[in-house]
Amino acid sequence: MSYMGRPKVTDEEYQRWLDEMRPFLMQGYSLNSAIERAGLNGHRTSMYEKYAQKDWFSDKIDYFQGLVGELANNIAYKVIANTHAKLIQNPNYVLSKEEVRIITLVATKHRSSQPFFVTRTEVAQTKHKDFGGINEVPQINYIVPNEA
């Protein structure tokens, strides 16, 4: 009796595909874009099914996609650390516009700054059933101005 359906994809094939997508994943591209740019469109379904298993394949994809963010954090940290060192050496040091922009960006957007700024907000995915309905409709009495 012969096997029906597509043949099983080996881990070696997944690793080869991952190697082909790696440059794009490291640039922060989505899995979909990396598949397309690597010319692996014919294997898209197999890769998404493997990614959904949350095993070594998805771990490596997530790791590669996160590298660009880690590099950006590292650069921002070095700029802030260098600026801090300049301010310690010379309290009258005037910050450049670029230094101010980077410090402002980190202060307002970075997770490490969250406890210090109450204006930070994040968007969370929720289900409609998690919210209660409107219990009562408020009654509004409109006052129409007198026409003269």
Residue 95 identity (one-letter amino acid): L
Cβ neighbours of residue 95 under 8 Å, at least 6 residues apart? 83, 103
- C-alpha to C-alpha distance for 38 and 40, rounded to whole angstroms: 6
What mean pLDDT comes out for the span 135-142?
A: 69
pLDDT, position 122: 66
What mean pLDDT comes out for the span 30-55?
A: 94
Helical axes 44-52 vs 11-26, angle rounded to 10°: 90
Q: How confident is the model at residue 135 (pLDDT cuts 50, 70, 90)?
A: low
Mean pLDDT, the chain, whole residue set: 84
The answer on pLDDT for 146 being more than 90 is: no
The string of DSSP letters for 1-58 reads -PPPSSPPPPHHHHHHHHHHHHHHHHTT--HHHHHHHTT-GGGHHHHHHHHHTTSHHH
What mean pLDDT comes out for the span 89-106?
A: 90
pLDDT, position 138: 66
pTM summary value: 0.62
In the structure, how many helices (H) and strands (E) does the chain have? Answer: 5, 0
- Residue 113 is given by DSSP the state G
Q: Which residue has the higher pLDDT, 122 or 14?
A: 14
pLDDT, position 115: 62
What mean pLDDT comes out for the span 76-99?
A: 92
pLDDT, position 62: 94
- Residue 131 is given by DSSP the state S
